[in-house]
Structures are given as C-alpha cells and as structure tokens.
Structure 1
Amino acid sequence: MLSRTAASLYWMGRYVERAEFTARLIEATLRLDALSPRPAGKAAWESALLVVAAGCAFAGTERAGDPQAVAGYLTLAPDNSSSIRACLDAARNNAKSVRTALTRDVWEAINRAWLGLRGLSSTGGSEETLALTAMIRAETRGFEGALQRMLRNEAYHFVSMGAAIERADNTARLIDVKYHLLLPEGEKVGGVIDRDQWTTILHTVSANTAYRWLYRDELKPWLVADMLILRPEMPRSLAAATEEVVSHLAYIGKRLGRQGEADRLARRRQTTLARTSIDSIFGQGLHEYLEVFVRENAQLDRAIAAQFRFS
C-alpha cells in the first residue's frame, strides 16, 4: 500500500469520527442549555468550544457569546477546522483519493453526509439544529456500519486506527473540560447542575445505559471517569481506544512488515492503563492525568505518521 493511500485512509477515519463527536456534542449541549432556568447555558457552550479546542478562535468573532452562533460555528464554519462541515469536506476529499480501496457503501455514507450540509448557510433554531445533528449522526453511523462490512485488510485497519486515535482524544478532552472547567462558580459539586452536566457527558458518548449496567448506582463523577477512562468494555473509553490502536498496528505491521515506535508507544500506553486505578488518577489529579494522555496521544499520532511515511 502506498504511503499516501494509508494517510488518506487514516485521516478519513479521524475526520468522520470527529464529525460524529462534534454532532453529539452540539446535541448534548443544546439539551443541557434547554434546562433553564438553571444557569448552565453560557458555560455549556463555552465548554463545547473548549472540548474541540476552538475557544480562542471563536472568541475573536463578532458573535462571541451567542449560543446559536456557537452551534453554527461548530457545525458549518469553513474557517473552523473542527466544524462538522470542515471535517466532512476533508473526509470526502480523502475518500475520493482512495476510492478504489473503499466499498461503495462506505463512499456513499460519506458522500450523503457531505451532501446534507451542502448549500447550508445557517443551522437555524434549536429544533433545526437538532434535526441537522441527527442527520449527521445517522450518516456517520451508516459509515461505521459499512466499514464493519469491509474486507479486513490494510484499508480497514488504517481507517479504524484513525478513528480510534480521534476517539481517544475526544473522550479525554470531554472529561477534562467537564471536570476541570464547566461547573459554574458557587455551584455545589454533586448538585443539580453538576449532575445534569455529567448526564450530558454520558449522553455525548451514548453511555447512559452503559453506566447503569456497569455500576447500578446513582450518578457519581468518579464512576463516570472510571468508565470513560479505564473500562475496556466501554467502546469510547480511553482503554478501549488504546486496545484498538494496538490491535490495528499489530495487524498492519504483520501484513506490511513494518513495526516501530508507534507499536512501542501504543503497547506502553496499554500496559500503563491496565495497571492504573481511578484512585491513583484522582490522586495525581484528573486534569493533569488527562493533559498527559492528550499529549501522549498526539505523540502516538506523529509516530504512526512517521512509521508509515504519511508525509
């Protein structure tokens, strides 16, 4: 497989995953914002921007502070590299360049999602925005389903590895922003607003039911963190994403005869997570732990690019 083909497949996986996550984030934030008169709205939208690392860029726009403008910026802004439109543009461009490596169903899922945003200049009101995010989620789920029916070859593993790297980054940022920044000043930890925000986090990663199955307890922040960091049976957890990356690298390395620094970093992270407890994470500081994880995830991403000569 050519290096540029591998790079396009990998980044296609990352961009589709990012588009889906951003759609989920917008939907969850809209629902949290609707819980007025509880004072969560502005903080919720600010946190959504921070999760996708777009806070500084949006602060410089003329409509900073307008919740509907935030939704539009996260959905349609061409100058926001993390907007759903920008992600689907990039995913489609990458898919076009490797069209022969994809099934028809995979290509059509990406193309339908891209077509759904073509020509839109505004997300409209809350109901229209929710409908738009529902459409994006449906198409990205269609992409995931089509991907699962692909031949288990190098193309499948590069796409899936990109998605797993992106998923780990998204989940870590989501937990960090909620725990470290989101609760309004003066509000009680464990209070109504705190509980609503943690519920929103679970909704963003489709984990409300999973939480009840795993813990059979009322919502507790440290248990949410435990599930989203350390529980490998939770598909969007850091542990699950790490295991996926190790598995994909092992397959690709065996088929292409190319192993190296990326394999070492991925296996080291897997071993470290397996030996970590939620008590030790909170002991060193959850924010500090997640900051390190995000940096290491970026380092692993660079190692993958170098190992398979993406550039």
Structure 2
Amino acid sequence: MLSRTAENIFWMARYIERAESTARIIQMGQRMAILPGPIHREEWRSVLRVTGCDRLIDGDRPVAEADIVHLLLLDDANPSSIRACLLRARNNGRAVRTALTQDMWEALNEDWRRLEHYDVMRARRDLAELIDWVKTRASTFRGAAETGQLRNEGHDFLRIGGALERAEMTLRLLDVKYYVLLPETAVVGGVRDHYQWTSVLHALSAARAYHHVYGGGDYTPWRIADLLILNPQFPRSVSFCFEQIGWHLDRLARAHGQRGAAHETAATMLSQLRSRESGEIFEGGLHEFVQNALIVTNRLSREIAQAYHFA
C-alpha cells in the first residue's frame, strides 16, 4: 500500500472518531451543566479542555453553551470542531476512494453539508438531534467497514487510527473530569455525585458495562477509572484500544517483515496496562498516569507516521 493511502485512511478514521467523541462530550456537558451549585460554572469550560480548545476562549470569562456550539460543532476554522472533522474525514476518504467500499463512501458522503445550514441559535435548538446524527454517521461508517472492507493493510490503518484517537479522548475526558469532580468525592454516594460520575459513563456509553462489571449503583471514581482504563472487554477503554493497536501493528509487521519503535511503544504500553491492579491507578495518581499515557499516544502517532512514511 502506498504510504499516502495509508496516511489518508489512518487520519480519516481519527477524524471520524474525533467527531463522534466531541459529540458525546458536548452531550455530557449538557447533562452536567443543568446541575445546581458551583460545578455548572466550570462544566462548559471543562468540555473545551477535554477537546484541547480552551485556548479559544479569552481570559476567565464564563463559557456558555452557545460558545460550545459555535466552537465545537459549527466552526470550520477550528480543526477540532465536528464540522471540520467530518469535512477532513470526507476529504481523506475522497483521496483514497478506490480503497473504500461503496457503503463506506456513502457513509462519509451522505448529507455531509448538513452543518453548513445551521447557525448557533438553530443548532442549539436542534442540538440533541445533531448529536445523534453525528453518532449515527460514525456508527454507520464503522459498520460498513466491519461488514465490507477487506482485512488488508487499509483495514489495519483504519483500526489503528480509530483506536488511537479513542484512547486519547478517553484519557482526556478522565483527566479533566477528575479535576472538575474531585471535590465531590467527599460526598460519594449522594445524588449529585452519582449524577456527575454517571454522566462520565454515559458520555462513553459505559453505564451498562459498569453495571455488568461492578453490579450496579456504587459509582465510585476509582472503579470508573479502572473500567475506562484497564478493562480489556470494554471497547472504549484504553486497554482495549491498545489491544487493537498492538494486534494490527503486529499484522503490519508481519506483512512488511520488520518491526520498529511504534511496535515496541504499543507493546510496552499494553504490558503496563495489563500489569495494573484494580484501584492502583487512582491511588497512585490518576492525573500523573493520564499525562504519561497521553505522551505515549502522541509519541505512538509520530512513530507510526515515521515507520510507514506518512508525509
């Protein structure tokens, strides 16, 4: 496979995953912002922090829902906005059109201009519908790839890109929520605390998984951290994502007859995740773990680009 094709597929997957993750985080922000008390004043700013866009709001002025809708949904000048991500995913897909199935291309191409017809006021009014639309588009694309794409190198780069983006967003969400919600751990088990932490689970479609793993309503931050970082069965956990990354990198290594720094980085990270005990990450410092893990994901992205000669 040409390195340019591999790069386009890799980034197409990342942009699709980023668009969906941003939609989920906006949805979580809505749930959290309606809570009474001082925490709602920081909630929308924390949404910007998760997506790395807090620099786009000047000073310490309060961040409102209208700011979020403009910056993270509609603003094509912000490369992390949903509109920009979907456009870039489509552009990458168009560049490798022959490497995609018809269903994959249609999932990228259908109604792709929809957000151009919205201003902030109308988008706020239809926000729930737009968030569901973004999530459905991402799921449709993944379903088309799952059922129709050849399991070749293109599929490997698609899965690696999506898993790397998903792991990074899960880590960012945990880190930001840790600081916003930590004062509430003094009243763990209260109604407000329960609602805040379950909002994190809902953002990642993890509430049912949490129930199956831990048996119900004791929503504690250390268990949530364990589920979202260490659980190898939950598809949005960091551990699951690195399992996928490692598996597909190994396939590429066998196809090319060589391994490189990216393969070792992924294998080392996965080994570290597997060796952690329940509760160990939270006790040892969630923020420190997440910051180190984000360094790893950023380095891994660069190493993959170098190994497979992305431009």
With the shorter chain as reference, the TM-score category is over 0.9
Q: What residue identity is the alignment partner of 2:122?
A: G
Shift of 1:183: 2.8
Aligned to 1:203: 202
Whether contact under 8 Å (2:228, 2:234) holds in the other structure is yes
**In the alignment, what sits opposite 2:82?**
84
Q: Return the alpha-carbon distance in structure 1 between the equivalents of residues 143 and 59 of structure 2.
A: 39
In the alignment, which of 53, 63, 70 is matched to residue 65 of structure 1? 63
Q: Distance in 2 between matches of 1:257 and 1:45?
A: 48
Q: Distance in 2 between matches of 1:172 and 1:270?
A: 15
* C-alpha distance after superposition, 1:14-51 (max 9, x if no partner): 0000000001111121122234x344433211111100
In 1: Cα distance, 2:272 partner to 2:121 partner: 43
Which stretch of the first structure deviates more once superposed, 131-140 or 118-127?
118-127
CA deviations on 1:151-179 (whole Å, 9 max, x unpaired) are 11111110111000000100001011111
Aligned twin of 1:74: 72
* Conserved? CA contact 1:106–1:143, under 8 Å: yes
The alpha carbon displacement at 1:278 in A equals 3.6
- The alpha-carbon deviation at position 123 of structure 1 amounts to 5.6
Deviating more after overlay: 24-33 vs 129-138: 24-33
Q: Secondary structure at the match of 2:259?
A: coil
Question: Normalization by structure 2: what TM-score?
Answer: 0.93
1:55 aligns with 2:54: yes
Which residue of 2 is the match for residue 104 of structure 1? 102
Counterpart secondary structure, 1:234: coil
Equivalence map 1:216-235=2 (5 Å)? 216-217=215-216, 218-235=218-235
Residue correspondences, number: 308
Within a 5 Å distance, the mapping from 1:170-181 to structure 2 comes to 170-179=169-178, 181=179
Query: Contact 1:10–1:158 (CA<8 Å) still a contact in 2?
Result: yes
CA distance in 1, matches of 2:263, 2:124: 44
Unaligned runs of 5+ in 1: none
Partner of 2:159: 160
Check whether the contact 2:229–2:237 (CA below 8 A) recurs between aligned residues. yes
Greater Cα offset, 193-202 or 17-26: 193-202
- Give the Cα–Cα distance (whole angstroms) in 2 for the partners of residues 271 and 92 of structure 1: 35
Query: Could you list the runs of 5+ residues in structure 2 that have no partner in the other structure?
Result: none
Q: 1:119 to 1:127 in 2, by over 3 A?
A: closer
Q: Cα deviation per residue 1:110-142 (whole Å; 9 max; x = unaligned)?
A: 112623223333263644111111111111110
**How far apart are 1:187 and its partner, in Å?**
8.0
Distance 2:158 2:146 in 1: 11
Matches within 5 A, 1:297-308: 297-308=297-308
Partner of 1:144: 142
Counterpart CA distance in 2 for 1:261 and 1:182 is 36
Mapped contact 1:95–1:107 kept (Cα < 8 A): yes
Aligned residue for 1:247? Answer: 247
Could you tell me which residue of structure 2 aligns to residue 124 of structure 1?
Answer: 122
| 1:107, distance to aligned residue in structure 2 (A) | 1.0
2:36 maps to 1:16: no
Question: How far 1:89 sits from its partner (Å)?
Answer: 1.1
SS of 1:13's equivalent in the other structure is helix
TM-score normalised by L of structure 1: 0.93
The residue type equivalent to 1:139 in the other structure is: R
Given that residues 69 and 120 in structure 2 are in contact (C-alpha distance below 8 angstroms), is that contact kept between their aligned partners in structure 1? no
Question: Are 1:10 and 1:162, in contact at CA under 8 Å, matched by a contact in 2?
Answer: yes
**Partner secondary structure for residue 273 of structure 1:** helix
Task: Give SS of 2:55's match.
Answer: helix
**Amino acid of the residue matched to residue 289 of structure 1?**
F
The amino acid across from 2:191 in the alignment is: V
Percent of aligned pairs with the same amino acid:
39
Deviations 1:37-69 (A, max 9, x none): 3444332111111000111123369x8622222
Distance (whole Å) between structure 1 residues aligned to residue 21 and residue 58 of structure 2: 22
Q: Give the superposition deviation at 1:188.
A: 3.9
Task: Please give the alpha-carbon distance, in whole angstroms, between the structure 2 residues aligned to 1:185 and 1:250.
Answer: 43
Which of 115, 132, 135 aligns to 1:134? It is 132
Letter in 1 for 2:287: H
